[in-house]
Amino acid sequence: MKKRLLFLGPPGAGKGTQAEKICQINGLMHLSTGDLLRAEVAAKSVLGNEAARVMSQGELVSDELVLSIVETRLSSQEGGWILDGFPRTVIQAQALKTLLVRLDQPIEAVVLLKLDDEILVKRLLARGRSDDNEQVIRHRLEVYLDKTAPLIDYYSQQGLLSGVNATGSIEVITKRIENLLK
Ligand code: B4P
């Protein structure tokens, strides 16, 4: 099975949910920039205070800040991993490429979770995190289309991208992803 993976998709597509499952089953490290940023916010670190305001508005945290978090984690990792929610901009993707060349750990597959906007909004409203109110969710979707969706072309041109239907039960979607990664 492929073991250096990137999960891409709109907010609420289930990147975190599926990454956690696939990591558990296959012994991979789950690196979620959203979770790492929320941990910084909870710890009220300088970095967390900077991230908190940006996240509550549905904007993206600065590339520099996210990159510094990811670099520290990946540099100390020898096994496989899933990057969930990162990269979110072409600049982050280019910086990641440079880092992975240096670490000699190329990406083996990029999984795009595909889902209709209205289902996303329903799922996120049901989750009810502090950045999950309708106005902020709609803004996150706009930010996704503007800043993150260009990565679909970026990775498909490199022959790495596979799309998966992200509607249905969590278990069914996990199976679909596992089939893609064989
Ligand atoms: P993230 O933490 O990455 O979260 P997300 O995109 O909102 O959700 P995800 O797709 O992981 O969905 P989940 O599994 O939770 O980002 C939050 C914020 O952090 C961003 O807006 C940004 O500000 C900042 N950030 C993160 N990374 C960044 C970066 N690289 N650069 C800059 N800023 C960054 O699932 C959603 C809900 O659906 C859950 O309640 C789940 O239980 C449910 N669900 C999942 N699968 C389901 C299914 N099959 N059926 C029904 N419900 C399902």
Whichever domain contains 78, its CATH number is 3.40.50.300
The ligand 1 atom nearest the CA atom of 127: 40
* Ligand 1 centroid, distance to 132 Cα (angstroms): 10
Give the domain extent around 10. 4-181
- Output the pLDDT for position 74: 87
The three-state secondary structure class of 161 is strand
Q: Name the burial class of residue 11, with classes exposed (0-12), middle (13-18) and buried (19+) by CB atoms within 10 angstroms of its CB.
A: buried
Candidate of 22, 35, 37, 50 to mutate for ligand 1, largest count of ligand atoms within 8 Å of Cβ: 37
The three-state secondary structure class of 130 is coil
- Output the pLDDT for position 72: 84
Q: For each of the chain's 182 residues, which pLDDT tens digit applies?
A: 999 999 999 999 999 999 999 999 999 999 999 999 999 999 999 889 989 999 999 999 999 989 988 988 888 777 899 999 999 999 999 999 999 999 999 999 999 999 999 999 999 999 999 999 999 999 999 999 999 999 999 999 999 999 999 999 999 999 999 999 99
Distance, in Å, from the CA atom of 30 to the CA atom of 115, rounded to the nearest integer, reads 22
Amino acid (1-letter code) at residue 11: P
8 A C-beta contact, residue 11 and residue 60: no
For CA atoms 113, 84, 118, 59, the dihedral sign is: negative
Q: Which residues, other chains included, contact 168 with Cβ-Cβ below 8 Å and sequence gap of 6+? A: none
Q: Residue 10: CB within 6 Å of ligand 1?
A: no
Which tokens is 77 given?
């990792």
Q: Give the phi and the psi of residue 163 in degrees, each rounded to 5.
A: -95, 145
In angstroms, what CA-CA distances link 23 with 29, 94, 114? 6, 25, 20
pTM: 0.93
Closest-CA residue, ligand 1 atom 30, reads: 86
Closest-CA residue, ligand 1 atom 13, reads: 14
- Output the pLDDT for position 108: 97
Which is nearest to 15 in space by CA: 82, 103, 69, 72?
82
How many domains does one find in the chain?
1
